[in-house]
Amino acid sequence: MDFPKQGMSKDEVLSTLKGRQRGDADWRHGRTFSLVYYAGPEALDVLYEASRAYFSENALNPMAFPGLRQCETDVVSLTAAMLHHPDAAGTMTTGGTESILMAVKTAREWARATKPHITHPEMIVPITVHPAFEKAAAYFDVKSVHIPVGDDFRADIHAARSLINENTILVVGSSPQYPHGVVDPITELAALAQEHGILCHVDACLGGFLLPWLEKLGYPVPPFDFRVPGVTSMSADVHKYGYAAKGASVVLYRERELRKYQFVAYADWPGGLYGSPSMCGTRAGGPIAAAWAIMHHLGEAGYLRVTGESMTTARRLMDGINAIPGLYVFGDPVGSVFGFGARDIDIFALSEAMDARGWHLDRLQRPAGLHMMITPAHAPLVEKILSDLREATEQIRRDGTLAEGAAAMYGALGTMDDRGTVSEFILNFLDNIDAR
Ligand SMILES: Cc1ncc(COP(=O)(O)O)c(C=O)c1O
């Protein structure tokens, strides 16, 4: 492809982009079950306008744009209060992955400073924890040791205890985890960390802006946040159930002194004194302003409304799925995120049949399943989703249909014992994505 010699007009540029969107998933009408969290047209407009207002500003230098700095400070302190520790210190990051990377980097620096005898640090993480912890392990050279989960998909606390050794610096649990939407035994995991004098991170990327509101609405929610003694840090994504624009998460530390280990300072650069709180150098102003804007636009009343709507919708879907012969919801999900499997049909054939009907359900493995994250955009679609699922399930059972093509490959990769070969396959897929 050649670099354009002459620039295109604004109209041409925008119409080309619009054209490219034609084949994309229709998130506005509830056709996706992850990737986009949509709280309606007015909320979207607030995000657009707030992003626009701070579109060009850069949070790299906190002195240049005090207005933007105030937005970040407000987002962090509101999130800390929501997670029941108003004194927590934190920073905004670009997303859950960056928040997790920062929590692991902080744990490593903390251990280097306070436990210098540890030269090969380890963290124990449930097998269901988000892969961002594997990324952190690779980036920061902290070994990840996997805690198995029980039949309820929650971390097995007895196994966790047996995996701790003299190199362990961090214990991790999720509130809730992505695949099945269940909350790990946070109280027990944090107590274990406390007992060993090490740190405990709770990944509430998914639930940070969901569980506090569910609790207020009266739904049963297990202990999940800073109220649990021994929880030393948390991650919570404003760009998930906080309904912010993408590029907004918060990482929080119970003690301010801990946060310092996250930062990087370099005093000798000829370009000037350099300090950076997180992974990025330049930090876009738009997502910070949009996060501030949506939190103030929705407020507690707005979050309770959208959370209530998502939860009622998710419960209707879960009940409906459990009522379809052969399908069942995994475990006991705490909120509006859940997975489901099939007893006597090929679940990936079902995912293909749903794709053909225009629904984009994410796929799970070990056990094989499909995944839903519910937002208010799905409220009007419950009957249609369930009737399509029912019809597709019956058809697959009647015809004995098995998954084909990509879905079949996904199923096969999920059950292969040689995980190294599967990882190689994934790397090749990424490597070839620009050749498609
Ligand atoms: C539980 C959990 N943690 C972390 C993440 C990572 O978030 P992000 O995709 O914003 O990096 C996700 C993403 O779905 C998640 O579900």
Number of domain units in the chain: 2
Domain that holds residue 326: 300-416
Q: What is the pLDDT of residues 41-50, one digit of tens each?
A: 999 999 999 9
What is the number of the ligand 1 atom nearest to the C-alpha of 178?
16
> Cα 250 from chain centroid?
12
* 265 and 360 part of one domain: no
pLDDT score, position 415: 84
Structure tokens belonging to residue 409: 């490959």
Residue 182 located in a structural domain: yes
Domain ends where: 239, 268, 295?
Answer: 295
Residue 289 located in a structural domain: yes
Q: Among 125, 135, 153, 240, which is best to mutate for testing ligand 1, by the most ligand atoms less than 8 A from CB?
A: 240
Count the alpha carbons within 13 Å of 216 in the hemisphere toward its beta carbon: 17
For ligand 1, is residue 32 a contact (CB within 6 Å)? no
Residue 327 located in a structural domain: yes
Q: How far apart are CA 246 and CA 36, in angstroms?
A: 9
Residue 16 located in a structural domain: no
Residue nearest atom 5 of ligand 1, based on CA coordinates:
96
Question: Are residues 319 and 308 in contact, defined by beta-carbon separation less than 8 angstroms?
Answer: no
* 119 and 252 part of one domain: yes
* 151 and 258 part of one domain: yes
pLDDT score, position 408: 79
Residue 422 located in a structural domain: no
* 146 and 244 part of one domain: yes
* 146 and 252 part of one domain: yes
Q: What is the pLDDT of residues 14-33, one digit of tens each?
A: 999 999 999 898 898 888 99
Q: Among 97, 125, 184, which is best to mutate for testing ligand 1, by the most ligand atoms less than 8 A from CB?
A: 97
- For 108, 112, 253, 261, the CA distances from 258, given in Å and listed in that order, are 11, 12, 6, 6
Residue 409 located in a structural domain: yes
Which residue ranges in the chain fall short of pLDDT 50? none
Residue 426 located in a structural domain: no
* 132 and 178 part of one domain: yes
pLDDT score, position 409: 81
Count the alpha carbons within 13 Å of 333 in the hemisphere toward its beta carbon: 27
For ligand 1, is residue 203 a contact (CB within 6 Å)? yes
Domain ends where: 295, 323, 346?
Answer: 295
For ligand 1, is residue 373 a contact (CB within 6 Å)? no
* 141 and 178 part of one domain: yes
* 280 and 313 part of one domain: no
What is the number of the ligand 1 atom nearest to the C-alpha of 177?
1
Q: What is the pTM of this model?
A: 0.96
* 127 and 183 part of one domain: yes
* 183 and 323 part of one domain: no
Q: 372: CA distance to ligand 1 center in Å?
A: 14
